[in-house]
Structure 1
Amino acid sequence: MKRASTLLMLTILFTACNDSKNKDKGTKSDSAENPLLVESTLPYFAPDFTKIKNTHFKPALLQGIEEQKEALEKIVNNPEAATFENTILALEKSDVTLDRVRNVFYSLTGAHTNDTLQAVQEEMAPKFSELRDAIYLNEKLFQRVKALHDSKQSLDLDAESLKLLEMYFEDFEIAGANLPADKKETLKSYNSRLATLTTTFNKTLLEANNGGAVVFTEKSDLAGLSEAELKSLETKDGEGWKIPLQNTTQQPMLQTMENRESREKLFSAAWKRADGTAHDTKDIIIEIAELRAKKGALLGFANYAEWSLQNTMAKKPEKVFELFNGLVPAATAKAKEEAGEIQEMVKEKGGDFTLEAWDWNHYAEMVRIAKYDLDENQIKPYFELKTVLEKGVFYAAEKLYGLTFKARTDIPTYHEDVMVYELYEENGETLGLFYADFFSRPSKRGGAWMSNFVTQSKLYNKKPVIYNVCNYPKPAEGEPALLTYDEVSTMFHEFGHALHGFFADQKYPSLSGTSVPRDFVEFPSQFNENWALYPEILKNYALHYQTGEQIPQGLIDKIKKSGTFNQGYSLTENLAASNLDMQWHTISAGTSVEDANTFEKEALNKTKLDVVKAVPPRYRSTYFSHIFGSGYAAGYYSYLWTEMLHHDAYDWFENNGGLTRENGQRFREMVLSRGNTLPLEKMYQDWRGSDPKIAPMLKARGVQ
């Protein structure tokens, strides 16, 4: 049974199945006509989107659930004593159909959803919750697993099989397998309700994002935007310009919008999108947080975070707060210094107002230009999307790992914007398929992510089929897709996740690739960002979209010199969001949150992250999809935790020859290819030669 990484979940994937024997119309009898119920005949078993229809998903998911239930019954009722093969391996194989269907289903509900898929998602959420409970709260099944775990030293298992056994045992214990029967029933009710609430949150937030888009009818209101940007924002009736909302608090257009009232209008729409609107999420997130606290208490923990962190590198909330405490003073001090500089720029430009959040990026860009003579509009012409991908992201993978890439226009996709590439090893052996879906659209949730259509597994002789999803503004037809440097970094980041999945070399899918704790899974992706500015890589992809001219060294120097610019703001907004997450998930059972906005305000004040008024959290609670709509509850800190790892790792590369095939191969073999087969602290220490240090991170941020 595949154990997917929590980061890469598009929603709660590990919940499931109705114990009812009632069967919805259209399960096994439809197998021959349902393309989701048979292995695809495309290369690498990639999903055939020319055959898949919305109506196929519900019956396929229901049949996947029934097949897994039948497999579980066989395991539990096996009269023979438990063995690795008849219990652990059988459990690992039990969801082969469900996993295949669910991989495709959640790719679409995240990247290209519709009313039909949303309805199925809402209906299936409690069924998935029940299935997970039917597995991990099954006393007979747990006793078989426990018997094997108790005698594991005498089983003569290879290292990966032993790790699989240990993983399942730990998962059963964490899920509540040791609870008495009455408490298991209570836990099942909590899990089912949480699954429904999470799905409702995601649906409501998508509607809030789409409904919050801001329409301007006067061109003067959008002074500062380029003609190409204006063209891409034109409404269908040609009567105005519509700016869609990104999932974050700050919106990209705020940087160039000259009209202060327009900036405030856009910022306010983003800030209030799910607060007091027709798509309000406040009651939903309160119920989620309070129910999670009850779940933590039921399982014997002081709060949800304490329960959730058991299988992570941090282990306990205290360790997370220790990380925060080491960063907050330096971050806020730097943010105050930056705010002072920006306020001076406001004054210099004739402004007679106090700096607000909607002013920050606009005037910060002026400060950057003044300090570093670097204008974002100077560099965007050198960052054309496809060139960045093929001559930057792919080129770095070639230099480090020997990979080559071939465009595959014969592989069907779920949307016309999606590109597909086949990956090859240095010796010419095929590695897998990569799907790239970069442009935003109303049917796509906010953010950026990676996941699998097919997971690498020697057990099934399968190579990975992986996709990256981003939300870059789509240019008007005929115009180039020019990226900001942040968007370039995001592309490198998400492909770092993809590499982690492509280099997987495991027998069991549950241990493969990115199936690691969330405070490690972001390490390979953040580490891969470092190559975006590496001289050899940058010069290869930073080519002017019109002339092909290589980016001038002068601009490269300016980009590097400005690398620590605005890092006080960046770190503080991240810490604010991370702390909000931990505050929501360290409330105790019985805590009653009267108002989400009051809770948020008090949480930021408590952690001294509201000292710079113009620096809001990267995500406000009402649209914090990582923690209320995905698998990052009590886990958003992991971006900072793994940032410490990735800067420390890059420090090793810099001191050992930099970008070389030898270094890349060593990193691949000792880290990227190991999946979840080793304790992660040991994996890192074996590669690095020491524990990670925070100093390289603070140096890179320029906050110390």
Structure 2
Amino acid sequence: MHGSTRCFRQAGSLFTTKGMQRHSHTVFASTTRAERIASRFSSSRQLQTAGTASETAKEAAHEVVHEDEKALRDVFDLPTKTTLGSRWYHQGQPTGLLMESRFVSPKSFKDAGGLAVAEAQQLVEKVVSAQTIDEKRQVVKCLDQLSDALCRVMDVAELVRQVHPDSNWQAAADEVYAEMFDYMNGLNTHVGLYRKLVEVMDDPECSRHFGAVEREAAVSFRRDFERSGIHLNKQAHSRFVELSAGINEQSRDFLRSQSQPLPKSRIVEMPMEHLRSLPSQVAMEILQSSRTQKRRDGTTTVRLAPDDYAAHYILRDCEDEATRESVYRVWQQGSSEAVKALESLLEKRQELAHTVGFESFGHMSLVDKMAKSPSHVDEFLRGLAAQTSPQWSALIESFKTAKGSDVYPWDRDYLVSRQQMDNGALPSLMPYFSLGRVVLGLSRVFKSLYGVELRAVTPQPGEIWHPEVRKLEVVDENSQLLGIVYCDVFSRASKSHVGAAHFTARCARRIDDDICVQGSDAGHSSQTVVERDGQRFQLPVVVLICDFPVPAEGSPPLLSWSNVETIFHEMGHAMHSMLGQNGYHNVAGTRCPVDFVELPSILMEHFARSPRALSLFASHYHTGKPLPSELVRQHAQQRRQHSALDLHAQLFMSALDQRYHSSHLQASDKTASDSWSTRLLAEVHRDPMFIGAASGANTFFGYVQGTKWQSRFTHLIGYGASYYAYLFDRVLAGRIWSRVFAGDYAHSSVTESDSLNPLSREAGERFKNEVLRWGGGRDPWQSLASVLDNGQTKSSEIEAIAEGNRSAMRTVGSWQLFDI
């Protein structure tokens, strides 16, 4: 994620809030291993020796749960004993939200915002007045401390706005965020801060003392200043500010248009009998919200305005192709208001990039990403499309055979559904995935890989915002506290529908060498600071948000396999925050390039599909029997059957995103018609990358005249020339999974997986030391080359990756995706 949505630094934002990452996808234990589980994995090798065994031995392994592990499992699986009736939530002197003594009430929260700004202003003055070498050498530290002071309030304000059930808290968070955001915008264009930073970086007497991470932090600050137009003359800078405001306004207009109802003229008239193939409840809801009309021949028709809900079921279940086509065409006509806002947004982004001196918005957005330039992204996308073309072509052929004629976009969901039904229904996996068992499994995976585990603890009064929130400590093998993870995973009315997300409420940052100004110790209590090797660090705090269904009374929360992947994904972000403690706020944990930030979280999805990892926790919530390996394999094969469709869609959206932000977006594009974005949409549909050698691809994936799908492409707001990032990290994660972790695959046979052990501590330490611990404090290409340099990859390929150039992107695009 980070689903998916994730922590994107927008152009023109220097002191950005850390935001959130969103997620927008067998071998069982032997008797020997069961005995080792009984002894709580006392050696790092205990999770590395597994083989096939009898079902009895497997069941025994699952039934052995240490007391601490039982507490971790039960705090999620026994909600009736640990939520609404809990006295610790309602009684006692409040300690402050997220253990922050400044966040005791809405009023104190607003006061904290003012104090943070006052502290930041003192640090600004320290920077601009720095004269001596010693003072100049503190400039990067000052900027990092300044950014942290603001983010420790603003990031919590963003969280409160999304999840707090109290409207008074929400109102306070809105006020704090708005005021601090204005202040941060002023810092982004503070000429004195920028000039002093440049002076320090260009002075060898200062810069030669930079450590590797400090240098990356300095480069990050300078780059963001310059993308904010700070080096422009007065007239150009005024235009930059004007364009930035316009971009924000058009972004809001585009998003608001998504909730507008369809015009009354967009009606599909369909025979009522065509509703019979739909689920009865869906058909009833469509009839209740639509008008019916009797024809002269005695038949009844339904006059339907096809919203997302109705369109989904009709396109999936309706047997009549003409009806599916009519619904598809009307549904995809899009919103003229949305298209207008989108085109204005894209034009302003392009002009903004030109104002700052970039060839296109794509060039501006990618300069600090791994890809570096639009041409490099194109190399990656075309390489990936070429290697997946056989699966895509085979899928289209299977659809044509099933239908007996050409296939069209309105056939896709229907044919997928029919093929899945033909394969037969499989028993549900949900009884094997109680939430508590899944969290316990995460702890065991982290213990095996990194020597850290999760521990359930009781929050103090006022520390959490809702009684369903769970608090976990992350501790290492020496019981040293590494950080805190709060889990707010159930759907509720008072919670914004953000889907799955990872919020960083506080970064790990070294504080014993802070620059002393009034208020610099605010919020640093014994609860929020840890000491390691004689140095003091802020305790990192993250919040995981999911939207899982509330469990039935008397039953533990049961998750689908997709939900298991979701929580593994978000915990991947959390572990990045816990282990990415490099001393600097601005490059800690998940504060790294957007096309690298999803790597740790997507890698965790592989563990959620791993037979070896599943054997650590997947057992029936009632009987305790382990999840049968054959059932895992069958579900995995079923899920992979149409995975090429999803990949193709992701490739298309990535390419369209690049086209809309490219240097080819010139005046001629925008004057050819009143909807130039639609014409470009049609051009991308015709790109050979998406047609290839597949016969029938022109009709199945071709542009449908009159439709405006781009009006629904809301990811263009947050991604802006970076939509390829999830695909890119998916490929990187797959490579690391196979080459570093020797990953097993759920769709493979048990025999093939017996010799594979992704739970290797050696592999975990390699990934932790070469990727996680650096956060954003190292060139990600260097991290990638280092983690893969374990004898499983050719030295020439390692050298190419380390260069991080066009050739490196082409190389990544050629890597096999094992999950399709």
Q: TM-score, normalised by structure 1?
A: 0.77
Sequence identity percentage: 21
The 3-state SS of whatever aligns with 1:287 is helix
Equivalent residue, structure 2, for 1:244: none
> 1 CA distance for matches of 2:554 and 2:320?
32
Matched, 1:452 2:504: yes
Q: Tell me the residue number matched to 2:457.
A: 408
Residue 276 of structure 2 corresponds to residue 276 of structure 1: no
Partner of 2:6: 7
Question: By how many angstroms is 1:106 displaced?
Answer: 1.6
CA positional deviation for 1:450: 1.4
Q: Distance in 1 between matches of 2:96 and 2:733?
A: 36
The CA distance in 1 between the partners of 2:458 and 2:698, in whole Å, is 50
* Secondary structure of 1:698 counterpart: coil
Distance 1:99-1:694 versus aligned 2 partners, 3 A rule = closer
1:621-636 mapped onto 2 (5 Å cutoff) = 621-628=710-717, 630=718, 632-636=719-723
- Of residues 419, 429, 432, the one that matches 1:379 is 429
Counterpart of 1:607 in structure 2 is: 687
What secondary structure does 1:489 align onto? helix
Q: Does the alignment pair 1:301 with 2:358?
A: yes
Q: Which residue of 2 aligns with 1:638?
A: 725
More off after superposition, 445-454 vs 72-81: 72-81
Question: Which has the larger displacement, 150-159 or 521-530?
Answer: 150-159
User: How do 1:132-171 residues align onto structure 2 when only pairs under 5 Å count?
Assistant: 132-152=184-204, 154=206, 155-171=208-224
Find the structure with the greater CA-based Rg: 2
Residue 414 to residue 555, structure 1, CA distance change in 2 (3 Å): same
Structure 2 residue 615 is the aligned partner of structure 1 residue 539 = yes
- Aligned equivalent of 1:652: 739
Task: Give, as a single letter, the amino acid of the residue that structure 2 aligns with 1:639.
Answer: Y
Shift of 1:311: 0.8
SS of the counterpart of 1:507?
coil
**2:391 matched to which residue of 1?**
334
Superposed CA offset, 1:500-523 (max 9, x none) = 111122211111111110111111
Q: Report the secondary structure of 2:472's partner residue.
A: strand
AA aligned to 1:582 is Q
* Cα distance in 1 between the residues matched to 2:276 and 2:506: 44
Query: Which string of whole-angstrom CA distances, capped at 9 and with x for unpartnered residues, describes residues 646-687 of structure 1?
Result: 111112234495311222122112211111222111122122
Q: Which whole-Å CA distance do the structure 1 matches of 2:121 and 2:214 have between them?
A: 23
Q: Secondary structure at the match of 1:321?
A: helix
Partner Cα distance (1:462, 1:272) in 2: 50
- How many equivalent residue pairs? 640
Q: CA deviation at 1:164?
A: 2.5
Q: How has the CA–CA distance of structure 1 residues 500 and 604 changed in structure 2, closer, same or farther, with 3 Å as cutoff?
A: same
In the TM superposition, what is the alpha-carbon distance from 1:132 to its structure 2 partner?
4.7
Do the aligned partners of 2:317 and 2:417 also contact (CA within 8 Å) in 1? Answer: no
Tell me the CA shift for residue 444 of structure 1. 2.3
Secondary structure of the corresponding residue to residue 673 of structure 1: helix
Task: Please tell me the root mean square deviation across aligned C-alpha atoms, in Å.
Answer: 4.7
Give distance in 2, aligned partners of 1:84 and 1:6.
37
Equivalent residue for 1:509, pick from 573, 585, 588: 585
| Shift, 1:205, TM fit | 4.8
**Cα distance in 1, alignment partners of residues 325 and 12 from structure 2:** 34
Quote the Cα distance in structure 1 between the aligned partners of 2:168 and 2:709.
29
Give the alignment of 1:297-446 within 5 angstroms. 297-331=354-388, 334-345=391-402, 360-361=412-413, 363-368=415-420, 370=422, 375=425, 378-391=428-441, 393-410=442-459, 412-440=463-491, 443-446=495-498
1:598 corresponding residue in structure 2: 678
Matched residue SS, 2:504: strand
Q: Counterpart amino acid of 1:190?
A: L
Deviates more, 1:543-552 or 1:508-517: 543-552
Q: Distance in 1 between matches of 2:178 and 2:131?
A: 31
Which moves more between the two structures, 560-569 or 195-204?
195-204
Deviation at 1:467, TM superposition (A): 1.9
Question: Which runs of structure 2 are paired with 1:202-217 in the superposition (5 Å)?
Answer: 202=255, 205=258
Q: Residues 654 and 169 (structure 1 numbering): CA distance in 2 closer, same or farther, change over 3 Å?
A: closer
Amino acid corresponding to residue 674 of structure 1 in structure 2: W
Q: Distance in 2 between matches of 1:414 and 1:186?
A: 42
Alpha-carbon spacing, 1:585–1:654, altered in 2? closer, same or farther (3 Å): same
- Report the secondary structure of 1:94's partner residue: helix
Cα deviation digits, residues 277-333 of structure 1 (max 9, x gap) = 9xx533332222111111111111111010111111110000001111123345455
User: In 2, Cα distance between the equivalents of 1:123 and 1:261?
Assistant: 53
Task: Tell me the amino acid that sits aligned with residue 435 of structure 1.
Answer: Y
Q: Counterpart of 1:325 in structure 2: which amino acid? A: R
Kindly report which structure 2 residues correspond to 1:16-27, keeping only aligned pairs within 5 A, or say none. Answer: none
Letter aligned with residue 685 of structure 1: A
Matched, 1:89 2:141: yes
Post-superposition offset of 1:92: 1.9
d(CA) in 2 for partners of 1:222 and 1:488? Answer: 34
Q: How far is the alpha carbon of 1:536 from its aligned partner?
A: 2.3
Residue 668 (structure 1) aligns with: 768
AA of the residue aligned to 1:487: N
Tell me the distance in 2 between the aligned counterparts of 1:397 and 1:174.
38
**Change over 3 Å in CA distance of 1:83–1:369 after alignment to 2:** farther
Q: Counterpart of 2:685 in structure 1: which amino acid?
A: N
* Rounded Cα–Cα distance in structure 1 between residues aligned with 2:153 and 2:122: 17
Structure-1 separation of matches of 2:543 and 2:397? 42
**The residue matched to 2:566 in structure 1 has which SS?**
helix
Residue 604 to residue 323, structure 1, CA distance change in 2 (3 Å): same
Find the residue that maps to 2:589 and give its secondary structure: coil
Inter-CA distance 111–12: structure 2 relative to 1 (3 Å threshold): farther
Distance 1:441 1:97 in 2: 31
CA drift of 1:437 comes to 3.1
Q: Counterparts of 2:153 and 2:764 in 1: how far apart (Å)?
A: 34
Q: Is the 8 A contact 2:731 2:817 kept in 1?
A: no
Greater mean deviation of Cα atoms: 441-450 or 159-168: 441-450
| Alpha-carbon spacing, 1:639–1:686, altered in 2? closer, same or farther (3 Å) | same
In structure 1, the residue matched to 2:816 is 698
Shift of 1:637: 0.5
Instruction: Give the match for residue 36 of structure 1.
Output: none
SS of the aligned residue for 2:616 comes to: helix
Question: What is the CA deviation profile of residues 228-276 of structure 1, one whole-angstrom value per residue up to 9, with x for unaligned ones?
Answer: xx89x999xxx99xxxxxxx98999859975569998999799959943
Q: 2:595 matched to which residue of 1?
A: 519
Post-superposition CA distance 1:64-85 (Å, at most 9, x none):
4565345424532556678445
Deviation larger for 437-446 or 534-543: 437-446
**Counterparts of 1:647 and 1:433, CA distance in 2:** 28
Are residues 86 and 538 of structure 1, via their aligned partners in 2, closer, same or farther at CA, if it must alter by over 3 Å? closer
| 2:218 aligned with 1:180 | no
Q: Call closer, same or farther: CA 1:381–1:519 in 2, change over 3 Å.
A: same
**Inter-CA distance 589–366: structure 2 relative to 1 (3 Å threshold):** closer
Give the letter for the 1:292 counterpart: R
1:613 Cα shift? Answer: 5.6
